[in-house]
Amino acid sequence: MAITSTMEALGALGVTPDTLSPGQKESLDKDGLCVIETEPAFWREFGVDLDEMAKTIDDLFEREGFNAGWEHIKEAQKVGSTPEAGARRLSNLINKHPIFRRAMVAPFPLAASYRVIKDEIRLTSLQIREPEPNAGNQALHIDWRPRHWPTAPFGACASFLYLDDSSRETGALRFVPRSHLKLGQPEDYCDPYEEQPDQVVIEVPRGAMVCLNAHTWHGGTHSSGGRRRALFITYRNRRHWQQLNQKKFLDPNVKDSLSEAEAYLLGVRNQDATQNEFFYRRRNSRYIRFFSFARDWVDAHVGGERTTHANSFTE
């Protein structure tokens, strides 16, 4: 039977209402972030060997050089530059090794994303980020469009799988608890480069995962040394644009090898709409932004066809 919903895809991949503990659900809902303290052995159960992933990452960094991480913003690439000053990135990972695909459909990021978004979901990007020594500090930011009304739904969820210990020395993640409930963006309230009195720095060992409501204020901190490679697994509401258009970038041989659940979550089935790159590249134009704002207003005040049957995941 063909998979036609997120709930069916989660069921096929073994995700259940108990995948997240009650404490993790409460933390994700209340603070906008939860920590999942898994060991490397846990990931091997899902075919994800962290040593193999780390080696693959290093091989890709060496092979791609300055071309690494540009796939979703190729038009902005400049010779000899990187997508983010002070950090190395890799993108388009589904094409580059099966191990990344296995991490994409691990239970925690799926359960957290469905709980945050409360609607049909689709992978928007799968990336590696590693801060460089004596660099890596980011402004507090959110990873999706700002909400303008308290009733507006959350649009995205990002999960970080750490391939190295994440500490204050290696540029650990900082976040502001409960900031996902604020409207607008961090710069509407503070200097996003400054430390905030209520910010929390998340220090976790290799193999741990952090699941983050993408509207939560967060950012990488300064790395004074030591490696901190992290895999970013980000899902958005299925109606929203993908950061990396999987129908455009996915190799046909990889597409043919996908399970039905994977194909659904990547949005690459024949019946899935093809992303309009003309409008996507102009998404920050006045007219496209107005259309997006109007759709957000409808979602906030009228409500769309959001999933209502998965109460055990969302309540």
The CATH number that applies at residue 163 is 2.60.120.620
Model confidence at 137: pLDDT above 80 = yes
Q: What is the mean pLDDT of the chain?
A: 91
At residue 165 the predicted structure's pLDDT band, cuts being 50, 70 and 90, is: very high
**Residue 181: inside a domain:** yes
The pLDDT value given to residue 312: 57
Helix 22-31 and helix 107-117, axial crossing angle in degrees, nearest 10: 50
* pLDDT score of 275: 81
Question: Rounded to whole angstroms, how far apart are CA atoms 191 and 27?
Answer: 26
Structure tokens at 239: 């109606």
Residues of the domain holding 35: 6-314
**CA atoms of 16 and 45, how far apart (whole Å):** 16
Residue 132, SS3? coil
Q: In angstroms, rounded to a whole number, what is the distance separating the alpha carbons of residues 138 and 223?
A: 11
CA torsion through residues 146, 148, 149, 150, sign: positive
Residue 104 lies in a domain: yes
Query: Looking at residue 257, what DSSP letter applies?
Result: H
Nearest CA-CA partner of 233 in 164, 162, 314 = 162
Examine residue 145 and state whether it is found in any structural domain, yes or no. yes
Flag whether the pTM goes above 0.75: yes
- In terms of residues, how long is the chain? 315
pLDDT tens digit sequence for 253-289: 999 999 999 999 999 999 998 887 766 666 777 766 7
DSSP H helices, the chain, are 6-12, 22-31, 40-44, 50-64, 98-104, 107-117, 246-249, 252-257, 260-266, 277-281, 286-301, 311-314
Residue bearing tokens 């590693």: 130
pLDDT band at 315 (very low <50, low <70, confident <90, very high): low
User: Does residue 266 belong to any structural domain of this protein?
Assistant: yes
Span 115-130, average pLDDT: 97
Asked if the structure places residue 1 within a domain, the reply is no
Residue 310: predicted pLDDT? 45
* Inside any domain, residue 270: yes
- 299 domain-assigned: yes
pLDDT of res. 276: 76
Q: Which residue has the higher pLDDT, 284 or 229?
A: 229
- Count the domains in the chain: 1
pLDDT range class, residue 303, cuts 50, 70, 90: low
